[in-house]
Structure 1
Amino acid sequence: MKVSVIIPCLNNASTLATQLAALAAQQYAEPWEVIVADNGSTDDTVAIAEQFGDRLPNLRVVDASRVGGSAHARNVAAAAARGEFLLFCDGDDEVGAGWVAAMAAALEKADLVGGYMEYWRLNEPWLVRAYSYENGLKLFESGYLKFASGCNLGIRHAVHDAVHGFDETLLRLQDVDYSWRVQQAGFKLSYAPDAIVHFRLRGSIRSVCRRAFKFGYTEPFLYQKHRNKGMPQILSWKSIVKTVALFPVRLIASLRDRASLCKVLMEGCWRGGELYGCIKHRYLPL
């Protein structure tokens, strides 16, 4: 088996069919499989996945409900995978035409690969503008090492095993940590521009802000984990205090449109999450 496509899922009944239909339409000459790793869904996620058995003959559904979190689901599926290459995508997005072939071609020369992220197809325009994702994203910048998103990521199976998979103690930013550890181990991260994923953002300001807070909360822990590996200090009290001080002014100015309001609230929640994370993880970013 050349390729294993891995989809961690938790209650993705409303979106999974779109992703599986996109995979069923892929053209790839080598043997490949799809593994849906169910993380304890209480909706019809598993039933919907099983309905695609005739369109994706090498489709399997594995139980990954023992531990909550997509990191565990990805690891369970990777352990069951037969492919030389592991391709990770999510159950609420949609891979583009030729995604499997583009990822596999890139992995012939690289250890870890990230693709292009497109945002207009599955999201309302105001939401794309709120994130400043009008031109899409290539590899993500972090102020340290670049990283690939877990919803558009390919890796050699042997490399995944060498770094012991995703860190299951992380409920957020697992893909950042994973990409960094792969590179710290001496492996190469490359970009595959033709491996396109249409990403689905959170659909309301409230859900965007909740997600931003959780990501911000995880950042201090991520820094504590990687600072001995050469990660420079990215967080600072100065940046947090500046955001808090300017927040009322920026909030008033943002009331002119929904995208601006969402952007300001999202940044405020991210900083709030960072501050709470610093307190919770007993980290002083001095």
Structure 2
Amino acid sequence: MPVGSISVIVPCFNGLPDLDVQLAALAAQDYHGDFEVIISDNGSTDGLREHLEQLESPLDLRWIDSSDVRGTPHARNAGIEAARGDFLVFTDQDDAVYPNWLTALARAAETYDAVGGPIEVRTLNSPEVATWRVVPAPDDRFETTYLPYAHGNNFGMWRHVVDHVGMFDEGFLGGGEDTDMSWRIQEAGLTLGHVPDAMVAYRLRTTARAAFEQGVGYGAAACDVLRKHRPYGAELPSVRAMLLFGYGLVIRNPLLPKSLSPLPTGMWALSAGTLRGTVSRRLRHLLDERRLSRRAQGR
């Protein structure tokens, strides 16, 4: 299906000044058709609306208020409701899309119901911080133990996909809504394509503490998504898998001598946070299941 009108939706919360980098990247797109950019303001207190009103930009730029419910999924959903386009594209406030990004996604959308693309961590991060995250090669999809997914800052879908599978799940406040949406699309029999040319520069957390806290959210969200999709074949992490992951962190602690090939500090912190988030959420799931079982047995 040829792409007609496009809406680029950017959820935003206190995103200045990084948002200006993203807006400049969107203004530099080589896409020949028309597209609008919707800034979905999820309760910013940094003067975002006033900044946008004073900003000189060639973009067809709109600000909308999505502060009634906190969270990125709601901000994305509010953008969907406000969008005029038939093809809905999502990226984030603190990243930067490549010049051919929208062209590549739109071209692929002629074949697929939904599409995603790769990310890279070199452009927006220092050389040290760039070592903190390993990302798939551009040709490779984001794989999981269940189904592949499209990264939330590099994702597009036709409006009929929303009509078929619903909007982003607003219960995923710590992340995971992109994985959930990707899996729902595939479970419904729709197609999710990967577009190697649609690159996005991804901005990482710049301190070990921030990386750790992000990892906690990642681990918890991953468990929640797997639990939601368990009826369709997704499997929750086993105790053995968590123990092996923890053992790997112990023997690759960045405080160990370099001869033992320790992980970069930020990568280790992210992984440690992910393990903590996974274990704590997995334990909560087990306790919830035990309570439900006891209630079912009348105890």
TM-score by length of 2: 0.88
The 10-residue stretch of structure 1 (169-178 or 216-225) with the greater mean CA deviation from structure 2: 216-225
Residue number in structure 2 paired with 1:73 = 75
CA distance in 2 between partners of 1:255 and 1:35 (Å): 49
Residue number in structure 2 paired with 1:7 = 10
1:19-38 superposed matches below 5 A: 19-38=22-41
Whether 1:61 aligns to 2:63 is: yes
Unaligned segments of structure 1, at least 5 residues: none
Compute the RMSD of aligned alpha carbons. 2.2
Note the C-alpha offset of 1:247: 4.1
Unaligned segments of structure 2, at least 5 residues: 290-299
Whether 1:229 aligns to 2:232 is: yes
Q: Calculate percent identity across the aligned residue pairs.
A: 36
Note the C-alpha offset of 1:260: 2.3
Residue number in structure 2 paired with 1:139 = 141
CA distance in 2 between partners of 1:224 and 1:192 (Å): 28
1:250-269 superposed matches below 5 A: 250-251=252-253, 254=256, 256=258, 260-269=264-273
CA distance in 2 between partners of 1:80 and 1:261 (Å): 42
CA distance in 1 between partners of 2:47 and 2:257 (Å): 39
Whether 1:43 aligns to 2:46 is: yes
Q: Aligned pair in 2 of structure 1 residues 118, 51: CA closer, same or farther (>3 Å)? A: farther
Residue number in structure 2 paired with 1:82 = 84
Tell which structure's C-alpha radius of gyration is larger: 2
Deviations 1:5-62 (A, max 9, x none): 0000000012001111111111322221110000000113223333346421x21100
Whether 1:123 aligns to 2:125 is: yes
Residue number in structure 1 paired with 2:284 = 280
Judge conservation of contact 1:2–1:83 (CA < 8 Å) in 2.
yes
Judge conservation of contact 1:117–1:138 (CA < 8 Å) in 2.
no
Deviations 1:88-146 (A, max 9, x none): 00010001012111111111111110112111000122222222238567421111110
Note the C-alpha offset of 1:217: 1.4
Whether 1:202 aligns to 2:193 is: no
TM-score by length of 1: 0.91
- Report the AA paired with residue 19 of structure 1: Q
Q: Aligned pair in 2 of structure 1 residues 248, 103: CA closer, same or farther (>3 Å)? A: closer
Residues matched between the structures, number: 283
